[in-house]
Homo-oligomer: A and B are copies of this chain.
Amino acid sequence: MSTPPLSRRDLEFLLYEWIDVEALTSRPRFAEHSRETFDAVLELSSGIAAKYFASHNKTSDSNEPIVGPDGKVVTIPEIKEALDVFAGAGLFAGSFDESLGGMQLPTSVMRASMAWFQAANAGTVGYPFLTVANGNLLVAHGSDAQIDSYVRPMLEGRFFGTMCLSEPQAGSSLADITTKAVDQQDGTYRVTGTKMWISGGDHELSENIVHLVLAKIPGGQVGVKGLSLFIVPKFVLGADGIPGERNDVALVGLNHKMGNRGTTNTLLNFGDGTYQPGGRAGAIGYLVGEPHRGLSYMFHMMNEARIGVGFLATALGYAGYRQAVEYATTRTQGRALSDKNPASKPVPIIEHADVKRMLLAQKSYVEGALALGLYCSHLVDEQDTAENTEQRRRKTLLLDVLTPIAKSWPAQWCLRANDLAIQVHGGYGYTREYDVEQFYRDNRLNQIHEGTHGIQGLDLLGRKMAMEDGAGLALLIATMRSTIDRARQTGGESCTLAEQLDESVERVRVVTNTLLAARERTDALANASIYLEAVGHVVLAWIWLEQFLASDQKQGDFYDGKRQAARYFFRYELPATEPQFDLLAAQDRTTIDMAPNWF
């Protein structure tokens, strides 16, 4: 399919007409940049994505990685070729410091750049996605030597990164991690244990793989407070920084997934003796930062990855939406309900109200999710470069609150968009001759990895809303209210939408406070997933009101479409939160009261 998977026009609207990314160029960090350099990166990205990534998306899906007879992972050659082009364009280093060879681009621009690749090929983009997040963690928490040894080669695309949290017996439960790291008193540790679901955990695509591994140093506290973070490279670096002997990190097996097949997903053994450089027991690991602070460092990467997963879900939803619009515009079938003449010419199905409903829903999900993602990315730029500490602190706080929503909302609703894209295509959409069924399969992963939907709900209600005595909640409410005020001043239809949103925001405030004040934490959190979904919809309504305001008084199909999608969201989607808030306010115990043996 040659339909561009994202809309350049929409990206420009969001980046320049709404967020005003150009204003960032007044900050010292971005002073070398201009709209021209931003546009050049986006143009470069969409071009490479189409030529090298989209072109092997189907091939990747039907030729998933296998383990060859020599124990090495075999991937189709197009993946390596695409990643080499990606590296050659300097895109691994896009947002990094110039001192590290980076382009020092704003995160918001780089997220938009990456979205082109995510929309083109969810599998292949997995490698740079993890590598960049890994690099960002090490820049923030690693030593200078670690940055030189590992980050620089990652930014050149020579080393790839992973994040190793989950273990077979402890998926989401990081407190139960048993991987062990023993101090050798020579600056190194010996790591032993098994890690599950490690994306990019093994392959031959890069010279080395930099595993970031959560493990316990014996003697530390039980639970997550005893976790430390280690660099465990696939190949141990020689004194010259060149990957040398094989470290004891063994591929136990590849997981065979429903979708997202281009990214290897692995079960890894650390220190099981398969490879024993120098006869040592355990894989060689290097502590990052201080002992027992591993989880907080890993959250640096996880939070970034969560926003990134939201973008991945968004990009897949967007790609499906664009194809559904294209299909509905060209496919003729049936006629208007008012047309009683069976001999009249069939119309393009985009004329049917139900097809328009399915397309409007997709538009509201994918453009809403993209806007939210870019908003959050801009918060990253602000927390990095805003003028004073207080401003930066507020941006960090708002980003913290929005992160579980920016991850889970697109994962849920852009998957729904893919579902609707299949439906618009009818029987064709269910076949592998078209792309939308793959998007649907690829996208299903996003409610699972980087913290499941349920984990995000607990994070939002149990941590983010509660933190700093409710400061996060207060800031989110104030931010949404400020848009409401602006809409009221604008008047007209904006005002009507603002009043509706104001009622929903008030429900968020009251219900959250009720739940936070609940006597029993178990009761309060029982429906945290529903809370996540309800608050998510309110946040997206706010994002749509923002887009409505950014389109105000502007003429043309594009702005008409934005306004209509906003109306759709307020009329068809936002009201669905009412019964959710009712349920939450009642602190319903139906699930708690369900005995396991009643199933």
The interface of chain A, by Cβ under 8 A from chain B, is 166, 169-173, 175-176, 196-197, 222-224, 255-259, 325, 328-329, 332-338, 342-343, 346, 348, 350-357, 359-360, 363, 419, 422-423, 426-427, 429-433, 437, 440-441, 444-445, 447-449, 452-454, 457-458, 462, 521-522, 525-530, 557-558, 560-561, 564, 567-568, 571-572, 575-576, 578-579, 582-583, 588, 590-599
Contact = CB atoms under 8 A, between A and B. Distances in A.
A229 B264 CA distance: 52
B170 A353 contact: no
Nearest to A597: B557
Contacts of A462: 337
Given A325-B599, A561-B599, A526 B353 contact: yes
A564 B591 CA distance: 9
B448 A423 contact: yes
Contacts of A529: 354, 357
A346 B222 CA distance: 13
Given A346-B173, A557-B597, A448 B432 contact: no
Contact of A432 (B256, B431, B452, B576): B256
Contacts of A592: 353, 356
B337 A525 contact: yes
A343 B224 CA distance: 11
A598 B328 CA distance: 13
Given A172-B333, A354-B526, A359-B599, 8 more contacts: A169-B333, A223-B343, A325-B599, A328-B596, A353-B591, A363-B599, A429-B448, A575-B582
Dominant SS at the A interface? Answer: helix
A285 B590 CA distance: 59
B588 A224 contact: no
B258 A528 contact: no
**Copies of this subunit:** 2
Contact of A257 (B166, B355, B430): B430
Given A175-B342, A590-B564, A196 B333 contact: no
Contact of A447 (B223, B224, B423): B423
A342 B590 contact: no
A100 to B, nearest CB: 33
A170 B333 contact: yes
The 3 lowest CB-CB distance pairs between A and B, nearest first, are A223-B342, A561-B598, A575-B579
Nearest to A359: B599
Nearest to A524: B337
B557 A571 contact: no
Given A426-B452, A427-B449, A333 B444 contact: no
A48 to B, nearest CB: 27
A545 to B, nearest CB: 16
A256 B431 contact: yes
A336 B427 contact: no
* Chain B CB within 10 A, most for which of A196, A337, A343, A363: A337
27 contacts: A166-B427, A169-B332, A169-B346, A171-B333, A171-B427, A172-B334, A172-B426, A175-B342, A196-B427, A222-B342, A222-B343, A256-B431, A257-B431, A257-B432, A329-B596, A336-B522, A353-B522, A353-B527, A354-B528, A363-B599, A423-B453, A430-B444, A437-B444, A557-B595, A564-B590, A568-B590, A572-B588
A32 B223 CA distance: 66
Contacts of A431: 255-258
Contacts of A259: 430
B454 A354 contact: yes
B257 A596 contact: no
Contacts of A355: 454
Contacts of A423: 447-448, 452-454
A597 B176 CA distance: 54
Contacts of A350: 596, 599
Contact of A173 (B334, B561, B588, B596): B334
Nearest to A570: B590
A86 to B, nearest CB: 26
Contacts of A197: 427
